[in-house]
């Protein structure tokens, strides 16, 4: 009887042989994101009762790492790992209900995010009033200060936008942990496009303001030069008239003598 039992165990082990380093191999493959190669090893180990492999297999199915996401199948493996006493499994079993409670937030990033939270309009940059030209030093300084103030505000917008990169960084960690790999990829692509559109819109406004400032500067410089030339001419004319009057007065005085 004992011999038959031993023989049966040997056959069972031979039919599903599990090497001691299989788990290490699977973890190494998963770490390299080679899930296609890791999956059959984890499956073999999980079916043989390895609690850690059951947990890892649950994560693969839950997040859709190299396979279509399947929370039901994932929860089955998490449950087995929990029954086997794997410590992280109980927390993993809470992922599905947490995800269901926050599905609307996940859908927002995956389907509806447009970058409104990082738009230039949020920074209150007052669009500077730029006249066609300015005449006085005070007017010129006022226009320059308004444009400089707007550009400083615009720089703040650019720095904030840069701080959101890489795309997906702004998704709260606790929410990102409830998203499948495919959802995170879709959300990242959507956010990347939204950031590009927001940046392009802000740049368009900046280009318009800088173009208006340049046109104002050129016209103002021309007007200032024209005014200076006109003033110089007036002084020259006044000096010439004064000289003529002085000569006439001198001539009259000589004639009277």
The C-alpha atoms of residue 27 and residue 78 are separated, in whole angstroms, by: 17
Residue 243 lies in a domain: no
Residue 81 lies in a domain: yes
Do 128 and 208 lie in one domain? The reply is: yes
Range of the domain at 63: 2-101
Residue 231 lies in a domain: no
Asked whether the beta carbons of 157 and 202 are under 8 A apart, the reply is yes
Do 138 and 44 lie in one domain? The reply is: no
Length of the chain: 257
Q: How many domains does the chain have?
A: 2
Residue 256 lies in a domain: no
Do 123 and 164 lie in one domain? The reply is: yes
Last residue within a domain, chosen from 76, 101, 126: 101
pLDDT for 227 equals 58
Contacts of 82 (CB under 8 A, 6+ apart): 89, 90, 92, 93
Q: What is the mean pLDDT of each run of 10 residues along the chain (257 residues)?
A: 32 45 92 93 95 96 94 96 96 95 97 97 94 92 95 97 96 96 97 98 96 94 68 60 63 63
CATH number, domain of 24, equals 1.25.40.10
Do 140 and 212 lie in one domain? The reply is: yes
Do 169 and 196 lie in one domain? The reply is: yes
Residue 253 lies in a domain: no
Residue 247 lies in a domain: no
Do 38 and 139 lie in one domain? The reply is: no
Residue 233 lies in a domain: no
Asked whether the beta carbons of 69 and 61 are under 8 A apart, the reply is yes
Q: pTM, whole model, 2 decimals?
A: 0.75
Do 92 and 33 lie in one domain? The reply is: yes
- Report helix, strand or coil for 182: helix
Do 133 and 206 lie in one domain? The reply is: yes
Asked whether the beta carbons of 100 and 187 are under 8 A apart, the reply is no
Residue 146 lies in a domain: yes
Do 134 and 194 lie in one domain? The reply is: yes
Do 161 and 214 lie in one domain? The reply is: yes
Do 185 and 202 lie in one domain? The reply is: yes
Nearest-CA neighbor of 118 among 198, 178, 54?
Answer: 198
Do 180 and 205 lie in one domain? The reply is: yes
């Amino acid at each position: 009887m004992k011999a038959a039992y031993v023989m049966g165990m040997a056959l069972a082990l031979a039919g599903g042989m599990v090497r001691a380093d299989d788990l290490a191999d699977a973890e190494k493959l998963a770490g390299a994101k080679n899930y296609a190669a890791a999956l059959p090893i984890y499956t073999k180990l999980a079916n043989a009762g390895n609690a850690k492999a059951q947990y890892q297999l649950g994560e693969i199915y839950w997040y859709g790492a190299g396979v279509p996401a399947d929370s039901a199948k994932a929860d089955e493996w998490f449950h087995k790992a929990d029954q086997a006493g794997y410590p992280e499994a109980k927390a993993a079993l809470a992922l599905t209900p947490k995800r269901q409670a926050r599905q609307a937030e996940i859908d927002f990033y995956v389907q509806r995010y447009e970058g409104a939270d990082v738009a230039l309009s949020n920074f209150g940059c007052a669009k500077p009033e730029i006249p066609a030209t300015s005449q006085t030093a005070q007017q010129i300084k006022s226009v320059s200060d308004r444009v400089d103030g707007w550009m400083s505000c615009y720089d703040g917008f650019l720095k904030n936008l840069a701080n959101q990169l890489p795309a997906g960084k702004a998704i709260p960690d606790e929410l990102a942990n409830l998203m499948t790999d495919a959802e995170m990829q879709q959300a990242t692509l959507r956010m990347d496009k939204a950031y590009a559109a927001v940046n392009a819109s802000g740049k368009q406004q900046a280009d318009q303001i800088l173009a208006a400032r340049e046109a104002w500067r050129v016209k103002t410089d021309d007007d200032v030069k024209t005014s200076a030339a006109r003033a110089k001419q007036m002084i020259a004319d006044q000096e010439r008239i004064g000289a003529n009057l002085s000569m006439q007065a001198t001539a009259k005085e000589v004639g009277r003598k």
